[in-house]
Amino acid sequence: MKKIALLATAATVAALSAAPSFAQQVNAYCSTNQSWCEMAASEFSKATGIKVVQTHLGTGEALARLKAESANPKTDIWWGGTGDPFLAAAEEKLLDAYRPPNMKDLYDWSVRQYDASNGMVGGFYTSFIGIGWNEDRLVKSKLPAPKCWADLADPKYKGHIEMANPGSSGGAYTIVAGLIQLMGEDKAFDYMKKMHKNITQYTKSSQAQAKNVARGEATIGISFLFGFDEERQAGFKEVRAIAPCEGTGYEIGGIALVKGGRNGDNAKRYYDWLMSPVGQGIGAKANSLQNPANKSFKQDPKIPTMDGVKLINYDFKKYGASAERKRILERWEKEVNSLPR
């Protein structure tokens, strides 16, 4: 009986040792697709026993929170979502410098983000802006598929186009900043005024467009192309997408430690794990199809290729600067969003 009791006790101890205790914690803001955010937090917790208390926010919202909480930070790490707001946060000294131990495994475009931010912001993934549409809705409306930016300003698309608000969405800010770099600022604003007349709504997040197009709630959406591909692969076969013929902007998703975070060591462990092949591979498993930063593993074939896409020479340092971002958003609000539709 004594031997049985000892064996039972040993088994209990082993079971408790194997299960995550959650004695430790890390607080995070995540701004990429919610499916990736949730799966990453769950898998990291299983692997380490560290509890992840994570809030899903658009990058514009997350930046606003970091500013508001700077005297008493509520989070330790911010990851995912377009990188311009991350660079603005770095400029405002809201982040801590940190480079993961596997820098040699990262693509050059990821490493350049560290160099542009004094080591505060890493490049987590990349993806480009595209135009997506619902083929069924286009056919019913007797409209041709858009192929270029110029098409979206045509009055025949009035009431059919949706994009996010660049004030709350880093993805939408990438669209605006990309158009400025593609066309020149004044011409870009003239163009956006014309396109504004065709917009049905400016959503809070750029993650809404692909879902709304897939579900027939919008005919055309402007957002990152991978989102439309995700919906198509999820079974919404009426979804189509293309990179605009004139050229397009792109994002480098960010990752950073928050200055003054209370769980610094655990935040570094989460950061390192997210930049590892295991953490980077979670994206495709969660059907979030951005191109990962880590080049040491074979990426999922579902991820859209960037071959043949005309990418503009996006100036992340200039358009990620706080003052420039603020100026552009104020001009957009005054000259575009204030107009009737």
Q: What is the pLDDT of residues 160-197, one digit of tens each?
A: 999 999 999 989 999 999 999 999 999 999 999 999 99
> Contact 123/83 with Cβ under 8 angstroms?
yes
pLDDT tops 50 at residue 9: no
Q: What is the pLDDT of residues 194-215, one digit of tens each?
A: 999 999 999 999 989 999 999 9
Q: What is the DSSP string of 12-26?
A: HHHHHHHS----EEE
- State what percent of residues in the chain have pLDDT above 90: 82
- The mean pLDDT value of the chain amounts to 92
> Contact 165/332 with Cβ under 8 angstroms?
no
Beta-bridged to residue 122, according to DSSP, are 255
The kind and range of the H/E element at 254 are strand 250-258
> Contact 266/24 with Cβ under 8 angstroms?
yes
> Contact 60/322 with Cβ under 8 angstroms?
no
> What pLDDT does 305 receive?
80
For domain 25-126+251-303, the CATH class is alpha beta
The rounded distance, in Å, linking the Cα atoms of 131 and 53 is 34
> Which residue carries 């990620």 as its tokens?
320
The answer to whether the Cα torsion of 89, 91, 95, 98 is positive or negative is positive
Pairing of strands 250-258, 122-134: antiparallel
Domains 25-126+251-303 and 128-250+322-337 share a fold: yes
> What pLDDT does 23 receive?
62
pLDDT tops 70 at residue 299: yes
Q: What is the pLDDT of residues 76-129, one digit of tens each?
A: 999 999 898 999 999 999 999 999 999 999 999 999 999 999 999 999 999 999
Q: How far is CA 122 from CA 81, 116, 126, 294, 317, in A?
A: 12, 9, 11, 11, 13
> Contact 221/200 with Cβ under 8 angstroms?
no
> What pLDDT does 302 receive?
86
> Contact 113/255 with Cβ under 8 angstroms?
no
* CATH tag, 128-250+322-337: 3.40.190.10
> What pLDDT does 1 receive?
44
> Contact 29/75 with Cβ under 8 angstroms?
yes
Please choose, from the candidates 184, 132, 193, 131, the residue with its C-alpha nearest in 3D space to the C-alpha of residue 312.
Answer: 184
Say which amino acid occupies 144.
Answer: P
Largest CA distance in the chain: 86
pLDDT band at 140 (very low <50, low <70, confident <90, very high): very high
> Contact 184/261 with Cβ under 8 angstroms?
no
The full set of domain ranges for the chain reads 25-126+251-303, 128-250+322-337
Strand, coil or helix: what is 302?
coil
> What pLDDT does 175 receive?
97
Residue 106 DSSP class = B
The model scores a pTM over 0.75: yes
CA 242 to chain centre: 19
pLDDT tops 90 at residue 54: yes
Residues contacting 63, CB < 8 A, separation 6+? 85, 88, 89
Please choose, from the candidates 206, 326, 273, 227, the residue with its C-alpha nearest in 3D space to the C-alpha of residue 28.
Answer: 273
pLDDT tops 90 at residue 219: yes
3-state helix/strand/coil string of 32-71? CCHHHHHHHHHHHHHHHCEEEEEEECCHHHHHHHHHHCCC
> What pLDDT does 7 receive?
41
The rounded distance, in Å, linking the Cα atoms of 123 and 78 is 12
Per-residue pLDDT, averaged over 262-288, amounts to: 96
> Contact 252/320 with Cβ under 8 angstroms?
no
Q: Show the tokens assigned to 170.
A: 């880093």
Q: Show the tokens assigned to 96.
A: 């801590």
